[in-house]
C-alpha cells in the first residue's frame, strides 16, 4: 500500500473514533497506521526539519514537555506533540499522523513517552534530543522492578546514534549512571541550591544502591525523594557536575516558584506558575532540553514563565466562589511530592483524596502505605475521601492518627467534590489529590460544569 493510502485509512479511523465519542488521547489511528505501514514513525518523523525531542520519566514528563513546548512557542516554532493519555508507541504514531495533515507543516516533534514504551519509541523515532528525568517505583503491580526499566533504558542509550543529544538528571543516581555506563557524553541537569535540602531520605526513596557496584549510596544533600548530591560508598561513581543547574530555588507557596538556572550560555531566571520542588526539577530539565534544541536563553526564561499547568498537574480551577487545585498523585514518590507541595500553604488544610484501583492506576493500592501522609496531620482540618477504594484511603489516614470526625467518606466523586467545597471556608483552597483515572473522572465533572477545559483541547 502507498504511504498516501495508508495515511488516509488511518485518518479515517481517527475521524470515526472521534465521532464515536472516544474523545482526546485516542491512539486508534496510530495503531491502524502501524499495522498497515510499520515504518510510518520513521518516515513521518524524518519530515520534521528540527527533528524530535522525547521526554521520559516516572514523574514529571507531562509538565516538562509542556514547559519545553512553551519555550518553542516563544521561539515561534510549530510544534507537534502527543497528549498525556497517548504516550505509548501508538500515541506517538497518532500524533505524527495528525501532524502530517497540518499546513503549514510542524517543524519539531515533542513527545512525552511512557517509561516502558521508551525503547520501542526511541528506536523508531530516533530523537534528536532524549531527556531522561527520573525513575521512581511506580504502582507496584504495573511494571514490576525498577531495575528492569533502568536496564531497558541502558539498552536504549547504548543504541543511540552518536548525534542524539542525551539530557540526564545528575541528581537521580540510576539516571546519571546511564551516561557513565555507556561512556557517553551527556548534558546533565540538577539542583544546586544548598538551601533546597531535606533532612533525610523519605520512606519512598528507592534507588539508593549503586547501579555500577551495588554498594549503598550516600548523600551529602537530598533534594527530593532519592534525588540529590549522591556518591557511591565503594566505587568512583558520584553525581556528575550538572551543565544546567538550578542555583536558586524559591518556593512561593502553592502558587509557583522562582528559579535561577546557570547554563553554559549564561544565567536564566524565571517566575514559574507551578508549585513545589518537583516543578523546579521539571523546569530545570526543560531548560536543559531547550538548550539542546538550540533555543536562546532569553526565550527559555520567557517560555518557562509563560507555561501554565498541564491538566490535573497543579491545575487551579474555580468552583463557585472557591478555589481548588488538582495535584495528580499516582505513586508513592508523586504522592510525597504533592504532600510537600500542599504543606507550602500556611492555612489549615482541606483535602479531597480520590483513590481508584483501575488498570491505569494499578490494581494494588497498598502503595498508599509507602506515602508519608503523616506531616499533613497537624495541619489537616478536613479530609474528604472518594473513589473505588475510598475506605482504604480513609483507613490509611485514621491509622496515621487522624481524628475520625475530620474524615468524610463519599464513594461518589461528584458528591465528595461538592461536600469538600461546601466545607471549605472562604478564601481557602481545596487541594485535590487523585490517582490517574480518579483525576480524569473529576475533570470530567469540572468540564461538564464549565470550570475546566476539555482534555483534548489541552496539549
Q: How far is the CB of 213 from Zn ion (least distance, A)?
A: 3
Q: How far is the CB of 57 from Zn ion (least distance, A)?
A: 23
- Segment 29-48, which members bind Zn ion (CB under 5 A)? none
- Give the Cα separation of 185 and 333 in Å (integer): 29
Q: How far is the CB of 29 from Zn ion (least distance, A)?
A: 46
| Residue 9 or 181 having the CB closest to Zn ion | 181
- Segment 396-415, which members bind Zn ion (CB under 5 A)? none
- Give the Cα separation of 85 and 62 in Å (integer): 10
| Residue 180 or 451 having the CB closest to Zn ion | 180
- Give the Cα separation of 221 and 283 in Å (integer): 20
> Residue 84, Cβ neighbours under 10 Å: how many?
24
Q: How far is the CB of 217 from Zn ion (least distance, A)?
A: 8
Q: How far is the CB of 235 from Zn ion (least distance, A)?
A: 3
| Residue 236 or 405 having the CB closest to Zn ion | 236
Q: How, if at all, do strands 217-224 and 227-232 pair?
A: antiparallel
| Residue 41 or 176 having the CB closest to Zn ion | 176
Q: How far is the CB of 237 from Zn ion (least distance, A)?
A: 5
- Give the Cα separation of 313 and 282 in Å (integer): 12
| Residue 53 or 176 having the CB closest to Zn ion | 176
| Residue 181 or 454 having the CB closest to Zn ion | 181
- Give the Cα separation of 142 and 129 in Å (integer): 28
Q: Helix or strand or coil: residue 92?
A: helix
- Give the Cα separation of 104 and 1 in Å (integer): 26
Phi and psi of 406, rounded to 5°?
A: -95, 0
Q: How far is the CB of 216 from Zn ion (least distance, A)?
A: 9
- Segment 344-403, which members bind Zn ion (CB under 5 A)? none
State how far the alpha carbon of 41 is from the alpha carbons of 78, 90, 405, in Å: 19, 10, 55
- Segment 83-142, which members bind Zn ion (CB under 5 A)? none
The verdict on 300 binding Zn ion (CB under 5 A) reads no
- Segment 182-211, which members bind Zn ion (CB under 5 A)? 210
Q: How far is the CB of 46 from Zn ion (least distance, A)?
A: 40
| Residue 180 or 377 having the CB closest to Zn ion | 180
**Grid coordinates 520567557 are at which residue?**
302
| Residue 230 or 436 having the CB closest to Zn ion | 230
Site string for Zn ion, 207-246 (x = CB under 5 A): ---x-xx-x----------------x-xx-x---------
Q: Give the interface size with Zn ion as a residue count (CB under 5 A).
A: 8
Burial of 254 (C-beta count, 10 Å sphere; 0-12/13-18/19+): buried
**CB-based contact 164:131 (threshold 8 Å):** no
- Give the Cα separation of 85 and 7 in Å (integer): 22
* Grid coordinates of 89: 508507541
Q: How far is the CB of 227 from Zn ion (least distance, A)?
A: 17
Q: Identify the helix (H) or strand (E) that includes residue 334.
A: helix 332-342
| Residue 212 or 255 having the CB closest to Zn ion | 212
Q: What is the edge-to-edge ordering of all strands in the sheet holding 349-354?
A: 313-319, 322-327, 429-434, 349-354, 380-386, 407-409
Q: Which residues bind Zn ion (CB under 5 A)?
A: 210, 212-213, 215, 232, 234-235, 237
Amino acid at each position: 500500500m502507498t504511504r498516501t493510502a495508508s495515511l488516509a485509512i488511518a485518518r479515517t479511523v481517527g475521524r470515526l473514533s472521534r465521532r464515536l465519542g472516544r474523545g482526546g488521547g485516542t491512539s486508534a489511528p496510530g495503531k491502524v497506521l502501524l499495522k498497515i505501514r510499520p515504518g510510518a514513525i520513521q518516515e513521518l518523523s524524518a519530515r520534521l526539519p528540527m527533528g524530535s525531542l522525547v521526554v521520559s520519566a516516572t514523574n514529571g514528563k507531562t509538565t516538562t514537555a509542556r514547559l519545553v513546548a512553551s519555550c518553542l512557542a516563544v521561539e515561534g516554532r510549530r510544534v507537534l506533540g502527543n497528549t498525556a493519555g497517548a504516550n505509548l508507541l501508538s500515541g506517538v504514531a497518532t500524533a505524527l499522523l495528525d501532524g502530517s495533515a497540518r499546513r503549514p507543516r510542524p517543524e519539531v516533534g515533542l513527545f512525552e513517552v511512557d517509561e516502558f514504551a521508551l525503547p520501542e519509541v526511541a528506536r523508531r523515532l530516533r530523537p534528536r534530543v532524549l531527556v531522561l528525568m527520573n525513575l521512581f517505583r511506580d504502582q507496584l503491580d504495573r511494571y514490576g522492578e525498577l531495575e528492569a526499566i533502568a536496564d531497558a533504558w541502558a539498552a536504549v542509550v547504548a543504541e543511540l546514534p552518536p548525534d542524539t543529544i542525551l539530557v540526564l538528571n545528575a541528581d537521580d543516581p540510576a539516571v546519571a549512571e546511564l551516561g557513565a555506563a555507556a561512556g557517553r557524553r551527556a548534558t546533565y541537569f540538577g539542583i544546586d541550591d544548598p538551601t533546597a535540602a531535606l533532612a533525610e531520605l523519605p520512606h519512598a526513596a528507592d534507588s539508593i544502591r549503586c547501579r555500577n557496584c551495588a554498594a549503598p549510596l550516600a548523600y551529602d544533600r537530598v533534594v527530593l525523594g532519592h534525588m540529590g548530591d549522591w556518591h557511591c560508598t565503594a566505587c568512583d561513581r558520584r553525581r556528575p557536575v550538572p551543565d544546567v543547574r538550578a542555583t536558586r530555588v524559591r518556593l512561593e507557596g502553592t502558587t509557583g516558584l522562582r528559579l535561577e538556572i546557570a547554563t553554559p550560555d549564561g544565567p536564566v531566571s524565571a517566575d514559574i506558575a507551578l508549585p513545589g520542588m518537583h516543578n523546579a526539577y521539571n523546569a530545570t530539565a526543560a531548560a536543559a532540553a531547550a538548550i539542546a534544541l538550540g533555543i536562546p536563553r532569553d526565550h527559555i526564561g520567557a517560555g518557562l514563565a509563560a507555561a501554565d499547568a498541564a491538566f490535573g498537574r497543579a491545575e487551579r480551577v474555580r468552583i463557585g466562589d472557591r478555589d481548588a487545585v488538582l495535584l495528580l498523585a499516582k505513586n508513592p514518590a508523586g504522592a510525597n511530592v504533592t504532600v510537600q507541595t500542599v504543606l507550602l500553604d500556611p492555612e489549615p488544610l482541606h483535602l479531597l483524596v480520590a483513590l481508584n484501583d483501575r488498570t491505569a492506576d494499578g490494581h494494588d493500592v497498598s502503595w498508599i502505605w509507602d506515602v508519608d501522609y503523616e506531616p499533613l496531620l497537624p495541619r489537616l482540618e478536613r479530609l474528604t475521601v472518594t473513589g473505588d477504594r475510598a475506605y482504604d484511603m480513609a483507613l490509611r489516614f485514621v491509622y496515621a492518627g487522624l481524628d475520625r470526625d475530620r474524615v468524610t467518606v463519599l464513594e461518589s466523586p461528584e458528591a465528595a467534590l461538592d461536600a469538600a467545597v461546601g466545607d471549605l471556608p472562604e478564601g481557602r483552597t481545596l487541594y485535590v489529590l487523585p490517582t490517574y483515572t480518579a483525576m480524569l473522572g473529576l475533570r470530567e465533572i469540572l468540564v461538564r460544569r464549565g470550570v475546566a477545559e476539555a482534555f483534548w483541547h489541552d496539549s
